[in-house]
Structure 1
């Protein structure tokens, strides 16, 4: 079983969440995927290329994505026979992201540039049909960046939703999602 972690905007594939999942699921191939979540055309190319490397090997895949990574986890599940877990997903980055230059969180000295074209391109990747794979949603109801009630209303009846009263946007105490991932591995 492969588990990918898709980081959100201003984060990286070296997220501590990857290390936590590697320790929690030692029998799985857990990896953080290095991609550009804010640049849809480039993100699609990287994610599809990474998936094609799995085909013919152990191609069972669970994609765990936080925020903008949740957007991409949902899109991948609509395109490929995979499972995804969206944590505080950014469903409409074309509306919630801003254009400009932004610094990556942590010790990285990297600048992210978001253009108007990037925001427009997100419209080509919004999921408009039932997912091909299995998807579940985790929401921290105290998300300070995205409106979790609005997200819940939009996804209600489409995917199972797991609500947590606390966790904030970056979903602290990440290990709380491990039982959900464990169930997804078993299905």
Structure 2
């Protein structure tokens, strides 16, 4: 009997890209598992500035996928998207320093911006804040589907809010560290163990 493939989706953060260090580290680790025979499929797209556009991109990729065969890993704004997708699809999600209240966090950034990795310019429109508000999850259901990695040293987001938001979910709260999770490679095996558990 053929093993069903786990669709593993990585969603980068605001102004970031698939070239971020965490995305590349995760992709390399997944590829190594695939070469060892794991039934995994990797999807790490460049997300558009529009939050609803980002959600639509992922949903289009996951058409007809069973919830049990999907796992989302989201960093920062990608963690916010992961919340909505996990609730909508009923799948697992790993959230890395997630922006749990993204509309509030990103409202000051409306205007012309550039991508961190490429300096590519883009327009972050006021209407995107409305899209974020529409995608806000007020409370997660089935906390066991989620795994939070939060850094007390996050210089951009409040780790207390993260811990409270995912109160009943498995959590790894790091003393120190930073928003980018500099030590992510040390904890990546735990991330993959969570998403692949039971398979």
Q: TM-score, normalised by structure 2?
A: 0.82
Q: CA deviation at 1:59?
A: 7.2
Structure 2 counterpart of 1:110: 120
Structure 2, gaps ≥5 residues long: 1-5, 35-39
> What's the counterpart of residue 178 of structure 1?
189
Is the contact between residue 99 and residue 114 of structure 1 (CA under 8 Å) also seen in structure 2?
A: yes
Residue 50 of structure 1: how far off its partner (Å): 1.2
Distance 2:194 2:110 in 1: 38
Q: 1:6·1:66 contact (CA, 8 Å) conserved in 2?
A: yes
Cα distance between partner residues in 2 of 1:167 and 1:177? 15
- Give 5+ residue unaligned stretches, structure 1: none
When the two structures are superposed, what TM-score results if normalisation uses the length of structure 1?
A: 0.86
Once residues 84 and 177 of structure 1 are traced to their aligned partners in structure 2, the CA distance between those partners, rounded to angstroms, is 14
Which of residues 20, 35, 47 is equivalent to 2:47?
35
- Whole-angstrom CA distance in 2 between matches of 1:131 and 1:186: 19
Is the CA contact 2:100–2:161 (under 8 Å) kept in the aligned structure 1? no
**CA deviation string 1:82-107 (max 9, x = no partner):** 2110000001121111211111112x
Matched, 1:71 2:71: no
The structure in which a higher percent of residues are helix is 2
The 5-angstrom pairing of residues 14-163 of structure 1 reads: 14-25=19-30, 26-27=33-34, 28-36=40-48, 38-52=49-63, 55=65, 60-97=69-106, 98-106=109-117, 108-131=118-141, 134-157=145-168, 159-163=169-173
Q: Cα RMSD (Å) of the superposition?
A: 2.2
